[in-house]
Amino acid sequence: MDYIDAVHCMQNTPPILPSEQYPGVRHRMDDFTAVHMGHATSVHANGALLAWHREFIWLWEQALRQECSYQGYLPYWDWPLYAQNLTASPLFDGSPTSLSGDGDPDNNDCVTTGPFANMQVNFRQGAHPTLELPENLFHYTPHCLNRHINSSMTAIFSNAAAISHLLESPDIITFQERMDISMDPAVWARQFGPHTAGHRAMTGTMEDFFSSPQDPAFMLHHGMVDRMWTIWQAQDEKNHRWAINGTMTLYNSPLTPELTLETEFSFGVLGRSKKMRELMNPEQGDYCYEYV
């Protein structure tokens, strides 16, 4: 309940971003969504996904602690535990201690149970991956948090066998593709990793390429993404810890240079820019955490 209370606090805390430039930003949680939206084309389906989102969720945890008196840690969504039936999971069963349940099919898939029942989100949804930011991306477009949970996605792509397969990846190229989505256009529409599968399983708000952090499930989903990367890195310090592959362009199109440890990532108003090397080890630098 403490984490849920902290999320509610963020939704009731004034934003930092100016409303003139970001009309849809109405509270601190929206600040995080807007920063994600602005960087979406450079930190998805490419070599920046893992490192950028590691810092993103860490900044979220720091904000919860510093601004909402949260004393705990960022939880994670342990994908295999309820991969066959997400709505039976304590995360999504609609109970008072969950992240709310499925959407109501008779009410535009709006979430009507649990602590985030009837929650309003402020940015539009339905945008697909694109190299360009859509027009009016940051406009105020209020509607309900909505979901249409599809466990068939997680049952196939986020089960225990899929996680074992992911952690057995021999190199970073393989790990990235098994985590996310194949970079081969011939197979990407039918072959998903658990990262992509989690978003698609929730559908609705969580499936939006740009504004998915509006769903409270987003941070826990990416907590698990980071957990998997952390475990994989620690399995082979020599070959995995500093392994980098790809660019900062969607699908690693050759429009931006290959990433290096000196590549600098921006996080807007959320925190200072950091180089790739600062994001590679959760037990060094600003970080000091481990997973169980």
pLDDT exceeds cutoff 90 at 128: no
Interval 145-170 mean pLDDT = 96
Per-residue model confidence (pLDDT) at position 268: 97
As a whole number, mean pLDDT of residues 228-233 equals 98
126 pLDDT higher than 80 = no
CA nearest 259: which of 240, 242, 234? Answer: 242
Q: Which two tokens stand for residue 286?
A: 């600003």
Please report the pLDDT score of residue 166 as a whole number.
96
Q: CA 143, CA 239: separation in Å to the nearest integer?
A: 46
Rounded CA-CA distance 265/120 in Å is 30
Tell which residue, 276, 254, 256, 255, has the closest CA to residue 266.
276
Q: Are 89 and 82 in contact (CB under 8 A)?
A: yes
Lowest mean pLDDT among 88-102, 116-130, 206-220: 116-130
SS3 assignment, position 251: helix
110-136: average pLDDT: 89
Give the H/E segment covering residue 200: helix 194-202
Least confident of 3-7, 8-12, 24-28, 190-194: 190-194
The overall average pLDDT reported for the chain is: 94
- pLDDT value for 183: 54
What phi and psi values does residue 221 have, to the nearest 5 degrees? -65, -45
At 210, phi and psi to the nearest 5? Answer: -95, -50
> What CATH architecture is 2-279?
Orthogonal Bundle (1.10)
pLDDT at 11 > cutoff 90: yes
Distance CA 119, CA 121 (A): 7
Question: Which pLDDT value is given to residue 221?
Answer: 98
pLDDT value, residue 182: 62
pLDDT tens sequence across 35-68: 999 999 999 999 999 999 999 999 999 999 999 9
DSSP 213: G
* Residue 17: strand, helix, or coil: coil
- Mean pLDDT computed over 215-236: 98
Looking at the chain, the whole-number percentage of residues with pLDDT higher than 90 is 89
Reply yes or no on whether the pLDDT at 145 is more than 80. yes
Task: Give the SS3 label for residue 229.
Answer: helix
Whose tokens are 């969580």? That residue is: 206
What's residue 132's pLDDT?
A: 80
pLDDT given for residue 184 in this prediction: 56
Q: How far apart are CA 146 and CA 222, in angstroms?
A: 19
Q: Centre a 10 Å sphere on the Cβ of residue 20 and count the other Cβ atoms it contains.
A: 6
Give pLDDT, residue 1. Answer: 86
- In this predicted structure, the answer to whether residue 201 has a pLDDT above a threshold of 80 is yes
In the block, tokens 């070599």 appear at 47
Which helix (H) or strand (E) segment holds residue 103: the answer is strand 103-104
Residues whose CB is less than 8 angstroms from the CB of residue 120 and which lie 6 or more positions away in sequence, other chains included: 142, 143, 144, 145
Q: What are the structure tokens assigned to 270, written together?
A: 């959320």
Query: Rounded distance, CA 59 to CA 53, Å?
Result: 10
